[in-house]
Amino acid sequence: MDVWFAVLQVLTLVAILAAVYRPLGDYMATIYTTPRNLKVEQGFYRLIGVDARSEQTWQSYLHSVLAFSAVGVFFVYAIQRAQAVLPYSLGFPAIPEGLSFNTAVSFVTNTNWQSYSPDVTMGYSVQIAGLAVQNFVSAAVGIAVAIALVRGFALRRTGTIGNFWVDLTRGVLRLLLPLAIVASVVLLAGGVIQNFNGFTDLTSLSGGTQSIPGGPVASQEAIKELGTNGGGFFNANSAHPFENPSAWTNLFEILLLLVIPFSLPRTFGTMVGDKKQGYAILATMATIFVVSLTAVTIFEMNGAGTAPGLAGGAMEGKETRFGIAGSTLFASATTLTSTGAVNSMHDSYTALGGMMPMLNMMLGEVAPGGTGSGLYGMLILAVIAVFVAGLLVGRTPEYLGKKIGPREIKLASIYILITPTLVLTGTALSFAIPAVRADVEGTSIWNPGLHGLSEVLYAFTSAANNNGSAFAGLTANTPWFNTALGVAMLLGRFLPIVFVLALAGSIAAQDKVPATAGTLPTSRPQFVGLLIGVTIIITALTYFPVLALGPLAEGLQ
């Protein structure tokens, strides 16, 4: 029965995503290409002193991204430190310095890693003015960077790639805000709470007392999923009935996770003038998604042991409201995007089942990836795939009429090396430095041995890939993890953006070369297969040794 329920859920999700792919993708293309500005946008441009008609070089675009994000980190940090004097603080004290830094970086980088219990740490002012605002703008930044790269392929012989402030403003006002309002209303109808009630003391059926928190949850839940942010209003995240009350709200939240990332390939195809290119990227993303989902579902439904056998699968850490199928679908969606929201505890998955969410992030979260970051990550891999194919046939590689020369392949190569370097370095330092190792093993790891290594590896994989989910058995609110994971989140977000925008500028400066008989077709199934192979091989060669020390070794025990 659970198998058929899983199939029905996936088919329903596919049908809805297919229905919105074209209209939403074309609408996003219109947002970022139309010369017309709304009146409210014009007022905002005047307020910040921006000429909406001016174009930026990639260096100027990058400076704007970094400056805007730096201000965001400072503001979110400051509002946490001032929490005690803010209205609707619920009596909570100021957030400690280390945790404030980690959280500020986390939400500005679209990671939403939480080293704390939100419902007993953050008041409503911090949740709304700090965290929820970043849920909108950090997602808009990711889309803006992706659009800048797409413009690089679409434009010819220009030194500019658009205007960051225009892209950011339009992404928030024309895309994320309207969709979030509609999604909030749907979630409210499904039972997600939205209030300012604070804590309510109740008497349980057994006669005990329990303090139940309220809060403006539906509005934050909508953009949390829609912007592939993650980060729960409650400690149990999307396993909490106030955030995710039923099976159909669970499926709706999964839809919110996927709807923009899976529609962006259409935007890409429309903007470059070849919609088949968008379908090729979409096919690559969808194939990886289905294979990953199938694998983790099989691992969890066939969990070894007496208890999983009697329960029909590995039900530890999973909500009976959702079952294994609803849990693994959510886990796959949240780690194949850069969301990090969870409706089950990944730490309680079987060894091989828990490896799959980790592997999803190690792929670079490109299937379909986060809002914007998934598309530009996949386009970088497409550039590498074209280069590999060019080497095989002995001709200069081209992608969408643009030559992939030494500069372009260097930028793409550095891009794909950044995240693995951060993950493996952070994991290694956690055990290589004697004082840090003593703290990690004595304070943070509650499950020693192979699983403890997997927990630390998962944490750095999640941080460097800006995901935010966790193997929750790890205590991460320590000076080492607050600092190290914060640095990994910062570098994992903005170093790749540097090379994406540099690549966009390099490609935009080129003229388009006409296709010839020797040009590699990049919209056919053969290229889709090549792109999938490049994606998997790069990941396998990079991460296989450390996976063999952690989840693979644990699974073979």
My answer on whether omega of the bond before 178 falls inside 30° of 0, hence cis, is no
Is the pLDDT at 184 greater than 90? The verdict is yes
Q: Which of 274, 295, 322 is the last residue of a domain?
A: 274
> What pLDDT score does 305 carry?
54
219-263 pLDDT, tens per residue? 999 999 999 998 889 988 999 999 999 999 999 999 999 999 999
Would you put residue 170 in left (φ > 0), alpha (ψ -120 to 50) or beta? Answer: alpha
- What local confidence, expressed as pLDDT, does residue 307 receive? 46
Q: Are 387 and 266 members of one domain?
A: no
Of 274, 295, 319, the residue at which a domain comes to its end is: 274
Asked if residue 395 belongs to a domain, the reply is yes
The 3 state secondary structure assigned to 519-530 is CCCCCCHHHHHH
SS3 content of the chain, % helix, strand, coil (to 5): 70, 5, 30
Shared-domain flag, residues 415 and 524: yes
The predicted structure's pLDDT at residue 473:
83
* Alpha-carbon span 103 to 114, nearest angstrom: 7
What confidence score (pLDDT) does residue 49 get?
Answer: 92
Q: Give the pLDDT band of residue 306 (cuts 50, 70, 90).
A: very low
Cβ count near 266 (within 10 Å): 24
Burial per residue of 79-111, b for 16 or more beta-carbon CB atoms within 10 angstroms, e otherwise = bbbebeebebbbebeebeebbbbbbbbbbbbbb
Q: Is the pLDDT of residue 304 over 70?
A: no
Number of domains in the chain: 2
My answer on whether 256 and 375 are in the same domain is no
Q: Which of 160-174, 340-354, 389-403 reaches the highest mean pLDDT? A: 160-174
Which whole number is the average pLDDT over 461-465? 96
Distance of alpha carbon 501 from alpha carbon 508, whole angstroms: 10
Whether pLDDT at 394 is above 60? yes
Beta-bridge mates of residue 210: 202
Dihedral sign computed on CA atoms, order 321, 355, 235, 330:
negative
**491 in a domain, yes or no?**
yes
Cβ proximity of 521 and 401 under 8 Å: no
The pLDDT, as a whole number, for residue 212 is 83
**Mean pLDDT, the chain, integer:** 92
Q: How confident is the model at residue 309 (pLDDT cuts 50, 70, 90)?
A: low
| pLDDT for residue 313 is more than 60 | yes
pLDDT band at 210 (very low <50, low <70, confident <90, very high): confident
CA distance 505 to 509: 6
- Using CA atoms, how far residue 158 sits from 144, 164, 496, 513, in Å, is 18, 16, 22, 15
- pLDDT for position 308: 56
- Residue 411: domain span: 371-556
Q: The tokens 């109740």 sit on which residue?
A: 202
pLDDT of residue 518: 75
Angle between helices 2-33 and 247-272 (to 10 degrees): 40
pLDDT band at 311 (very low <50, low <70, confident <90, very high): low
346 within a domain of the structure (yes/no): no
Q: How confident is the model at residue 6 (pLDDT cuts 50, 70, 90)?
A: confident
Question: Residue 100 falls within a domain, yes or no?
Answer: yes
Evaluate if residue 367 carries a pLDDT over 60.
yes
Q: Is the pLDDT of residue 107 over 60?
A: yes
Q: At 318, give phi and psi (nearest 5°).
A: -115, 145
Rounded-to-10 torsion of CA 143, 280, 467, 452: -170
Say which residue the tokens 């998955």 belong to: 349
The predicted model gives 178-201 an average pLDDT of 94
> Is residue 129 domain-resident?
yes
Question: Could you count the other beta carbons within 10 Å of the beta carbon of residue 59?
Answer: 13
Q: Which of 274, 308, 340 is the last residue of a domain?
A: 274
Instruction: Based on the fold, state whether residues 378 and 247 are members of the same structural domain.
Output: no
Least confident interval from 115-119, 174-178, 267-271:
115-119
Query: Which of 112, 110, 165 has the alpha carbon at shortest distance from 138?
Result: 110
User: What is the average pLDDT across 148-153?
Assistant: 96
- Regarding whether 89 and 208 lie in a shared domain, the answer is yes
518 found inside a domain: yes
Lowest mean pLDDT among 144-153, 194-203, 354-363, 437-446: 194-203
3 within domain boundaries: yes
Same domain, 400 and 259: no
What mean pLDDT comes out for the span 324-341?
A: 93
In a domain, 475, yes or no: yes
Is residue 111 located within the same domain as residue 234? yes
Question: pLDDT tens digit string along 467-490?
Answer: 999 888 889 999 999 999 999 999
Average pLDDT, integer, range 45-58: 93
